[in-house]
């Protein structure tokens, strides 16, 4: 296994950081590596906002559900899907921007995810740790107001970066047979794969929590997809111009 494969397979979310600085040069290089990710039709529909202001960081931590690492990380980035720049280019050439297309929304959101994952790999190659903060979508309008995001831009998630002050175990993933199909969807054996993974995750949670957490992947999914999740997002996105036609 080469070094790149080892790095990718060793990913953990880091939520505790030392006070050591993440330098401007590191952040710039991380984002440049993010920009090198694939982008559909070269749309590059992503904007990254590094939030330095301590008061803003505290507010973002609150918006994300009081996640203290948003404020304490060496650097905090907000990854935004951004069609505003493409709109400006279109209109600058005498075109009419076609607002609200679902495909454009997908392009921008996928571009944001691809860029961010490249950023994480780049950061980890420097010895830094990272943690995605989807909790910004708990209060997306407040985040947008705080960061002065224009129409056709929305915060997809945040990204904490810093020097790790913890060494958590790598969280197990589903068996490869459950996610890799040959010619058709890998439906056969899903129940068995899930059952085996549940036992692996139960052991992981018990070890990580010192026996305090007794759960499985299936129980976690019941809690996640067995209820509404951020129903405010539909109205928020429509107000931003993402009306999904």
What ranges do the domains of the chain cover? 3-169+228-240, 176-214
Q: Are strands 75-82 and 153-162 parallel, antiparallel or unpaired?
A: antiparallel
Tell me what pLDDT residue 160 has: 98
DSSP code at position 136: G
Match domain 3-169+228-240 to its CATH number in 3.40.50.150, 3.90.1150.10, 3.30.70.3040, 3.40.109.10: 3.40.109.10
* Residue 77, token pair as written in the block: 């980035």
Would you call 49 helix, strand, or coil by DSSP?
Answer: strand
pLDDT by position in tens, the chain (length 245) = 999 999 999 999 999 999 999 999 999 999 999 999 999 999 999 999 999 999 999 999 999 999 999 999 999 999 999 999 999 999 999 999 999 999 999 999 999 999 999 999 999 999 999 999 999 999 999 999 999 999 999 999 999 999 999 999 999 999 999 999 999 999 888 999 999 999 999 999 999 999 999 999 999 999 999 999 999 999 999 999 999 98
Cα separation, 195 vs 179, in Å, equals 14
Tell me what pLDDT residue 245 has: 87
Cα separation, 147 vs 165, in Å, equals 29
Please choose, from the candidates 84, 85, 82, the residue with its C-alpha nearest in 3D space to the C-alpha of residue 107.
82
Total-model pTM? 0.95
Tell me what pLDDT residue 38 has: 98
Q: Largest alpha-carbon pair distance within the chain? A: 63
The backbone region for 182, taken as left when phi is positive above 0, alpha when psi lies in -120 to 50, beta otherwise, is beta
* Residue 106, token pair as written in the block: 């997908």
* C-beta separation of 152 from 5 below 8 A: no
């Amino acid at each position: 296994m080469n070094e790149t494969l080892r790095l990718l397979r060793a990913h953990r979310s880091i939520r505790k950081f030392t006070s050591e600085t993440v330098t401007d040069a590191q952040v710039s290089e991380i984002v440049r590596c993010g920009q090198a990710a694939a982008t559909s039709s070269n749309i590059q529909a992503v904007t990254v906002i590094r939030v330095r202001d301590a008061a803003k960081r505290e507010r973002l931590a609150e918006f994300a559900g009081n996640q203290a690492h948003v404020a304490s990380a060496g650097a905090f980035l907000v990854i935004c899907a951004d069609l505003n720049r493409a709109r400006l280019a279109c209109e600058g050439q005498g075109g009419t921007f076609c607002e609200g297309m679902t495909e454009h929304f997908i392009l921008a959101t996928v571009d944001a995810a691809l860029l961010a994952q490249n950023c994480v790999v780049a950061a980890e190659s420097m010895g830094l740790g990272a943690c995605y903060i989807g909790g910004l979508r708990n209060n997306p309008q407040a985040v947008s107001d705080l960061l002065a995001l224009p129409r056709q831009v929305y915060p997809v998630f945040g990204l904490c970066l810093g020097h790790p002050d913890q060494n958590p175990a790598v969280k197990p993933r589903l068996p490869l047979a459950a996610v890799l199909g040959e010619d058709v969807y890998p439906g056969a054996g899903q129940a068995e794969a899930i059952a085996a993974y549940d036992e692996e995750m139960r052991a992981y949670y018990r070890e990580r929590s010192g026996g305090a957490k007794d759960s499985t992947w299936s129980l976690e999914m019941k809690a996640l997809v067995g209820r509404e999740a951020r129903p405010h997002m539909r109205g928020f996105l429509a107000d931003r111009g993402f009306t999904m036609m």
